[in-house]
Amino acid sequence: MRLSIQSDAYFMQQALQEAQTAAERGEIPVGAVVTVNGRIIARGHNLTETLTDVTAHAEMQLITAAANQLGSKYLPECTLYVTLEPCPMCAGALYWSQIGRIVIGARDEKRGFTTIVQPLLHPKTEVHWGVLEAECSALLVAFFKKLRQQKG
């Protein structure tokens, strides 16, 4: 039974706050939270620039953090809220984690996992699309617009 005292929009708003923090640090603004039974157990954002590490996507960090919190490699009771569609790396990691549910904000039509026709997620993982999609997308659009202006 999934006891959710807060809505998907509430948790996506928390993920958006993480994305906003990423933007302020010069990171591509993608944020995420992981919940169990309607409580956040891990939160974070993209840190690829800060850590000089292409694997430091929000999702990757949160899979590790959630497993640490729960003392289990597998996350069937968890929901991941993420502001941008995961890439194939993150989808592959989510597959191994057997995560129960993924809630996604904006689509990534260029590098999102659904650009791969074959399924990358675990068959037991539920996916829910488009929560606060406009807000999640607007943050990314504004970030890249500013970046282009800075580069001249």
Binding site for its own copies (CB under 8 A): 48-49, 52-55, 60, 63-64, 67-68, 71-74, 87-93, 95-97, 115-118, 120
CB of 134 to its own copies, least distance (A): 27
Cα dihedral sign, 113-58-64-104: negative
CB of 60 to its own copies, least distance (A): 6
CB of 6 to its own copies, least distance (A): 27
59 is catalytic: yes
DSSP string, 75-126: -TTEEEEEEEPPPHHHHHHHHHHT-SEEEEEE--TTTSGGGSSS--S-TT-E
State the chain's maximal CA–CA distance in angstroms: 53
Nearer to its own copies, 40 or 70 (CB): 70
Q: Report, as residue numbers or ranges, the catalytic residues.
A: 59
